[in-house]
Amino acid sequence: MKTKLQKQSELEKAKKLFAKSRTLILTDFGRIKVNDLKKLRGALKEYGADYMVMKKRLLGLLLKENGIEFDSKAHKFSIGAIYSDKHIEEIAAPVVKFFSALGEEIKAVEKILGGYHVGDKAYIEPGHVIMIGNLPPKEVLLAQFLGMIQAPISSLLYLFQERAKKIAV
């Protein structure tokens, strides 16, 4: 059991992380091995994010102080919070990838509890976090979009080229 001083220091650390964050993703870390959590922390460090395990009540106090509604009783265990100064699009991918790689017995759908866009104080549903995390990178999406725009024009040019060959013969 943590002392009052330990809880205060944990809350202060969380406040500092929250103050510089754009995105907050909440996770359930039950049934996850300590070595796997270390791997997650390492992967998140590469993206400039921090992972902190907190008691629900302390997390509830932190979010309430910042004007965000949070029902701590909706979750059974302590919660892991991922604090990131990046947008949800950038940080959701490594989180979803990590939980998806854990295996069949642990599913990302069960472990990702949702997120918050800190600036807007907007809640992000767990399904949306997973959907965003499964999207390909921005560069790939742009290439796919340009391919979709180019396809009808290419088809039309091909049609004109074939028609010109028939007329010339």
Residues 13-49 have pLDDT tens digits of: 999 999 999 999 999 888 888 898 999 999 999 999 9
Q: Which helix (H) or strand (E) holds 54?
A: strand 49-54
Q: Please report, for residues 143, 145, 149, 164, 165, the alpha-carbon distance to residue 154 in angstroms, rounded to integers and kept in the order given.
A: 15, 14, 9, 15, 17
Give CA–CA dist 131/93, Å, rounded: 9
pLDDT digits (tens, 9 = 90+) for 136-168: 988 999 999 999 999 999 999 999 999 888 887
DSSP calls for 101-164: HT-SSS-HHHHEEEEEETTTTEEE-HHHHHHHHHSPPHHHHHHHHHHHHHHHHHHHHHHHHHHH
pLDDT digits (tens, 9 = 90+) for 98-128: 988 887 666 777 889 999 999 898 999 999 9
**Residue scoring higher pLDDT (78 or 3):** 3
- Domain at 4-135, CATH class: alpha beta
- pLDDT of res. 149: 94
Is residue 50 over pLDDT 90?
yes
Is residue 69 over pLDDT 90?
no
pTM for the full predicted model: 0.81
Across the strands, what pairs with 20? none
Q: Which residues, in sequence order, are CB contacts of 29 under 8 Å at separation 6+?
A: 37, 53, 77, 78, 79, 80, 111
